[in-house]
Structure 1
Amino acid sequence: MKTPLRDAAALAAGLLAPFLAALALLPWRTSLSPTNLALLLVVVVVAVSALGNRYAGALAALSAAAWFDFFHTQPYQTFHIRDRADIETAVLLLLVGLVVSQLAARARLLGTVAVTDATHLERLHTTTRRARVSASADEFVERVRGDLVDVLELKDCRFERGVPVGGPSRLEPDGGLAVPGWIWDVDRQGWPDGEIELPALAWGRDQGRFMLAPRDDARPPSLEARLVAVDLAVQAAAALAASPGDRTPA
């Protein structure tokens, strides 16, 4: 699985931002105390963590401690520290940077989860309303297809009428992923290669399946997003089952 571009950029920032900040603080190396310099570097660590992720934050904390040692403790331009107070400041910078980076990343994650959950809930409500006003089941299924592309951040999605024949990987009702011949952890391993089948089931009857085509560089969707996708497929199947002209033969 490829590293998403945003995560790669966050890791690069975690490595480079403290270095650039420590370099920019050189003119004030003798006028500011080592403690104040360390606090300014902590601000950089927090910024990287808030905009990136916890791994980028941890890397930024390590980078900040290293460049604080290199540029702002004697002897300068070495990774050796002579003064005990400077050693304590460097260690505290590392520890505080690690702690605040994880807290900042967690706060950002919680905020993202809250916004995402509200978005998913609104999407389900909107889809339910659409089911009542759609001119035909096919029109509603097309709308659900577009919703699945958005929810799962797909490259493409298509709907196939009839009973699913199986074969490809399948998104299960519990949000898990069934991959023939494998025990698959989608949160850790991401999407498998090829298309993924999402059955459209209603009242125990197969109405067809959505074939999901993930983007090559996409990160795996959250469990909440996958469960929303399953609910959307159920609503599409219910619309087909409730339409006499669209019923699938038993």
Structure 2
Amino acid sequence: MIAITDADYLARIRDTAELAQSSKGPDSLVDRVCEHLTALLDLRACRFEYGTLTGHPPRIQQDGTVLWGRRRWDVERLGLPKEEVELLAISHGHFYGRFMLTPAPGSRPSLQARLVAVTLADHVGSALDTAATD
């Protein structure tokens, strides 16, 4: 089972990287990453907000941990928070937007799945950075 999961994670990263380098534009990449995040993290919904940071929702950090305010949320024990969780798209220190993730009840994505999610969001940040400089 672990080998299949690892292969699935790698396939999602490769698919995202290839799409990020294609000429289809960042909107199609954002849509694809939402699809991947929905499957990876067991979400009911995923949407992307360009260039906004409002409120203080729980956030998936670069190291895969989830912070809610200043407190670390125990995903392994409690699952993802029932509220929307944000995942930032950043490149070279510049914020481009965030994925807003609505977990399915009982969603408990592994640390490895959350790290893959961060990698996918980083690809979107890089693609948006490239599009901004073109």
TM-score, normalization by structure 2: 0.92
Higher radius of gyration, 1 or 2 = 1
Q: Give 3-state SS (helix, strand or coil) of 2:80's partner.
A: coil
Work out whether 1:114 is the aligned partner of 2:3: yes
Q: For residue 181 of structure 1, report the CA deviation from its aligned partner.
A: 5.5
Work out whether 1:222 is the aligned partner of 2:110: yes
Encode CA deviations 1:49-89: one digit per residue, 9 max, x unaligned: xxxxxxxxxxxxxxxxxxxxxxxxxxxxxxxxxxxxxxxxx
Q: Which protein has greater RCO, CA pairs closer than 8 Å, 6+ apart?
A: 2
Give the distance between the partners of 2:13 and 2:120, measured in 1 at CA. 7
Change (3 A) 1:126 1:169: same
- Give the unaligned 5+ runs of structure 1: 1-111
Change (3 A) 1:131 1:192: same
Task: Tell me how many residue pairs correspond in the alignment.
Answer: 134
Encode CA deviations 1:208-236: one digit per residue, 9 max, x unaligned: 00000001143x01111000000000000
Query: Counterpart in 1 of 2:88?
Result: 199
Higher-helix-fraction structure: 1
Query: Counterpart in 2 of 1:127?
Result: 16
Percentage of matched positions with identical amino acids: 43
Query: What is the RMSD computed on CA atoms of the aligned residues?
Result: 1.7
| Residues 59 and 68 in structure 2, CA contact (< 8 A), matched pair in contact too | yes
Higher-strand-fraction structure: 2
Encode CA deviations 1:190-219: one digit per residue, 9 max, x unaligned: 11121001011111110000000001143x
- Give the unaligned 5+ runs of structure 2: none
Runs of 4+ in 1 over 6 A off after TM superposition: none
Q: Which amino acid aligns with 1:148?
A: L
2:54 equivalent among 151, 156, 165: 165
TM-score, normalization by structure 1: 0.51
